[in-house]
Amino acid sequence: MSPRRIAVVGASAAGLAAAEALRRFGWTGTLTLVGDEPHPPYDRPPLSKQLLQGAWQPDKLHLRAAEQLDALGLDLRLGTRATGLDTATRTLTLDGGERLACDGVIVATGVAARTLPAAAGLDGVHTLRTLDDALALKERLSGTGHRLVVVGNGVLGCEAAAVARELGHEVTLVGREALPMARTVGTEIGELLAAEHRERGVQLRTAAVDGFEADGDGPARHVSAVRLADGTRLPADTVLVAIGSEPAVGWLHGDPALDTTDGLRCDAYCAAAPGVYAAGDVARWQHPVHGRHLRVEHRMNATEQGMAAARNLLAELEETLPGDEALAPAAGRERRPFTPVPYFWSDQYGLKLQAYGVLSGADRSETTVLDPDARKAVALYGSDGQATGVLAIGVPPRQVRGLRALIATPVPWEEAREGLHNARA
Amino acid sequence: MNITLDADKCCAAGQCVLIAPEVFDQRDEDGIVVLLDAAPPADQHDAVREAAAICPAAVIKVDE
Ligand SMILES: Cc1cc2nc3c(=O)[nH]c(=O)nc-3n(C[C@H](O)[C@H](O)[C@H](O)COP(=O)(O)OP(=O)(O)OC[C@H]3O[C@@H](n4cnc5c(N)ncnc54)[C@H](O)[C@@H]3O)c2cc1C
Ligand code: SF4
């Protein structure tokens, strides 16, 4: 009999959390961790903050020290892509053609940066998702006096614009939304962010990007301007395209048992098929409390969901492999629905924005600006008469933690409003 | 059990405090983690391990 094996695909935050949890919860069989990047697991949020700014060197981003990884006893395959999964036989295929028979698989392949077709082969146009992307952009912005156009005014674009400004570059932030991050946080918080970016000297534009202009030929073609749909030309020597991401599910398309529309669709236990679970940015699971499928691209969720997927996979295997030595006996191993209170933060200049719960899809929101000059505000988001999310900007993080309890589960709108008032008083 | 922190990596998410409030706290002004007990009693160990695993900035290191 071949040795028992669990494979985790994607060697980043969610994949690492899953691998660690599998060991902690009792998996003693082979544990394969496959990641297509050459680097050991590293953290992404600092890429658009401390790394880009130059405050941290890349090794500070490693999620675990070498000896901590060694202690997990992994069959670690870095620089290796998974190219297919047959869920019926739980066979994983790697890019070298190797086929791995698995007892369980956890899919944690995250998302990939979306780009613009016109950017292909153009020097000076960047995306920001991986360490290599961030190092390339940082290198590009070394020295002073660059003209950077950031295409996309979501979280990533705003953070990168802030850092580039602090480094002294000329920065224009272009987005289809009228205000920074407005699609996520609404108009009023968007206005505060816009005011902060303007005051720091970032040019804000609302426009669709039509294409790029370039100097030179062939591989030396270098971006010289960004062209907007209305014909305006924004001169640029560097462009960051930050227009969102696509779930990395292409490698799963061959299997008809999987639904890969907008991420890998899972049930409330993070299961996509028998023995196949998903976690992190790639997973779209049924949140039992919110009663709908969510896909959450936040750092905190990657770890929590990695742990949940690991626990649930082992609980399932316990039923199919009773008494197998690959699965050390453990108390309390049972499948549990994954019901997190989502959390995310963003840092721009000295401002910290923190949010709990679900903001997306809100049909109402209410913002209280506590101090316009200090950009201090709290906001509540909800739908169908229920409050589902809360956000604070410029408020000390310790205070914000208290707001979590308000919307840990959806509550009637008025109740949450009152709670928010009392918390502020 | 011995806990060490790489506190300048902390992003002030406060998860450690939610999970193990007797061991971790946050600074008032910026939310950076504060260690209340570097060698907590045995009944705290599971919570500390979970906090270390869940911390979104890999700040908490546990030696056992
Ligand atoms: C620049 C930046 C800043 C961010 N800032 C914040 C922030 O401030 N706050 C916040 O809450 N969140 C932030 N995030 C989001 C957060 O980083 C993600 O939610 C988190 O990284 C998701 O982890 P993951 O493991 O699910 O996916 P990923 O980190 O995307 O990892 C997936 C891994 O799988 C690999 N992979 C993909 N396909 C395959 C394959 N077929 N075979 C093998 N390997 C594969 C990928 O190369 C990648 O290494 C930020 C993200 C970025 C990019
Ligand atoms: S969980 Fe980690 S990042 Fe969050 S406050 Fe604690 S130590 Fe800091």
Domain boundaries, chain A: 5-112+246-320, 115-243, 350-423
Q: Which fold has domain A115-243?
A: FAD/NAD(P)-binding domain (3.50.50)
A306 Cα: distance to centroid of ligand 1 (angstroms): 12
Q: Where are the beta strands (DSSP E) in A290-425?
A: 292-294, 343-348, 351-357, 364-371, 376-383, 386-393, 411-412
ipTM of the complex: 0.94
Q: Is B47 in the pocket of ligand 2 (CB under 6 A)?
A: no
Nearest residue in A to B34, CA atom: A398
Task: Tell me the pLDDT tens digit for each residue of B5-64.
Answer: 999 999 999 999 999 999 999 999 899 999 999 999 999 999 999 999 999 999 999 998
Same CATH fold assignment for domains A5-112+246-320 and A115-243: yes
Whole-model pTM?
0.96
Domains of chain B: 2-63 (3.30.70.20)
Q: Is A343 in the pocket of ligand 1 (CB under 6 A)?
A: no
**Which pLDDT belongs to residue A143?**
85
Nearest residue in A to B53, CA atom: A17
**Which pLDDT belongs to residue A254?**
78
Say yes or no for a CB contact (<8 Å) between A17 and B56.
no
Render each residue's pLDDT in chain A as its tens digit; 425 residues: 568 999 999 999 999 999 999 999 999 999 999 999 999 999 999 999 999 999 999 999 999 999 999 999 999 999 999 999 999 999 999 999 999 999 999 999 999 999 999 998 899 999 999 999 999 999 999 988 999 999 999 999 999 999 999 999 999 999 999 999 998 899 999 999 999 999 999 999 999 999 999 998 877 799 999 999 999 999 999 999 999 999 999 999 879 999 999 999 999 999 999 999 999 999 999 999 988 999 999 999 999 999 999 999 999 999 999 889 999 998 888 999 999 999 999 999 999 999 999 998 899 999 999 999 999 999 999 999 999 999 999 999 888 988 999 999 999 999 999 999 887 75
Q: Which fold has domain A5-112+246-320?
A: FAD/NAD(P)-binding domain (3.50.50)
Residue with tokens 């109740």: A415
Q: Under an 8 Å CB criterion, which residues of B touch A?
A: 9, 11-15, 17-18, 26-31, 49, 53-58, 61
Q: What is the DSSP string of A310-344?
A: HHHHHHHHHHHSTT-TTB---TT----------EE
Return the best residue to mutate from A12, A128, A135, A240 for the ligand 1 pocket (most ligand atoms within 8 A of CB): A12
**Which pLDDT belongs to residue A388?**
95
Radius of gyration of chain A (CA): 23
Q: Is the CATH code 3.30.390.30 the one for domain A350-423? A: yes
Cα–Cα distances (Å) from A61 to A13, A145, A184, B6, B56, in that order, read 11, 28, 27, 12, 12
- For residue A279, give the 3-state DSSP assignment: coil
Cα–Cα distance for residue pair A212/A236, rounded to 1 Å: 9
Cα–Cα distance for residue pair A159/A46, rounded to 1 Å: 10
A20, A300, A345 ranked by CB distance to B53: nearest: A20
